[in-house]
Amino acid sequence: MNPSKFGEMSFFYSSESASLPSVIVEVPATSANCGPGFDCLGVALSLFNRLELWPAEADELRAEGEGEVALQGQSTSLAHRAARAAWEELGLPPTGFAISMRNVVPFARGLGSSSAAIVGGLVAANEWARAHRGVSLSDAQLLDLATRIEGHPDNVAPALKGSFCVCATREDGKAFALTPQVSQYPRFVVWIPEVELSTEKARGALPATYSRADCVFNLSRTALLVAALSTGDSEALAESVRDRVHQDYRAPLVPGWDALNEAARQLGALGTTLSGAGPTILFWLGAEADAPAFVTGIEAVARQQELVGRALEVTVVGGARLVEEL
């Protein structure tokens, strides 16, 4: 079939490439760091981008939803760069890519929009090559490529693998990502503000060095977080999401952090963490908590503080997947 059957979105080409089949993949949002696990922990959450791809004579791009204005007029994107990286790794002849995106993951909010684009481009190109050229990259190769493009694995790993990931990168660039057994996930609510915060600005707020005490504090909480999730110990979980490496330094860049953090505590949250570099805030609730009531409470405080944004419950989900081949 000819592209596109991706909702109402379609490309129109006069070239022969318009007759090529396409693939559609779905990629989740991700929340990195999870409190103390700076650049090494991440979780996949239930907001999804969809991306349709097929080879073309030259790069083409159409975007709908989040980031539509920012991408308007562009013919290439981070997803194209990732797709090309997969193509080169497979040893296939150079080509352009036609990509159509429907984005739900907000841009520059700490929910892994760049990782979703990278993983979407990689997985779509890989699945197209698997179906139509008989070659493909392994999951480990995809993770290494994604980490190389993104610079660290804590967002790309859960975007690829789903669930809760513990990550590390070896000196030679080899990435590792494991999904430990989780007894029962807490319930999660996110506050997504309308304001954006670039990762570069958020990283610029961090100190150049840390005390041994702060390093030990975070190391112990990171290990405790993995153990608390695997055993279902909610008291340990509440302690484990505390951080001394990045959140206190970035908090002044996040509108309403103090007020929403205090409101979450009064509403019974186990803990509050920045999602990635922020400004989205991730609230950790008990497994039996009333998440809709918590959302209502956070939104009420946000209105009192004149904060513009939205609160919603999200769940832990699987990683990138092929939706269909057309």
What are 182-213's pLDDT values in tens digits?
999 999 999 999 988 888 898 899 999 999 99
| Higher pLDDT pick, 70 / 116 | 116
| Higher pLDDT pick, 76 / 148 | 148
At 8-17, the pLDDT tens digits run 444 433 344 4
Q: Is residue 46 part of a domain?
A: yes
Q: How far apart are CA 236 and CA 99, in angstroms?
A: 45
H/E segment holding residue 314: strand 309-314
Q: Is residue 1 part of a domain?
A: no
Same domain, 226 and 173: no
**pLDDT over 50 (residue 3):** no
Same domain, 306 and 157: no
Same domain, 204 and 74: no
Same domain, 129 and 259: no
| Model pLDDT, residue 48 | 98
Q: How far apart are CA 296 and CA 116, in angstroms?
A: 29
**pLDDT over 90 (residue 18):** no
Q: Is residue 26 part of a domain?
A: yes
Q: How far apart are CA 326 and CA 186, in angstroms?
A: 38
How many domains is the chain partitioned into structurally?
Answer: 2
Same domain, 156 and 222: no
Same domain, 112 and 249: no
DSSP string, 206-238: S-S---HHHHHHHHHHHHHHHHHHHHT-HHHHH
**pLDDT over 50 (residue 2):** no
Rounded average pLDDT over 159-184: 96
- What's the CATH code of the domain at 99? 3.30.230.10
Same domain, 152 and 265: no
Same domain, 156 and 22: yes
pLDDT bracket for residue 71 (50, 70, 90): confident
**pLDDT over 90 (residue 324):** no
Percent of the chain with pLDDT over 90: 87
Range(s) of the domain holding residue 266: 187-314
Same domain, 26 and 161: yes
Same domain, 211 and 76: no
Q: Is residue 182 part of a domain?
A: no
Q: Which two tokens stand for residue 239?
A: 């302690």
249: alpha, beta or left? (left if phi > 0; alpha if psi -120 to 50): alpha
CA angle 51, 56, 57 (to 5 degrees): 150
**pLDDT over 90 (residue 41):** yes
Q: Record the pTM.
A: 0.92
| Model pLDDT, residue 74 | 83
At 225-269, the pLDDT tens digits run 999 999 999 999 999 999 999 999 999 999 999 999 999 999 999
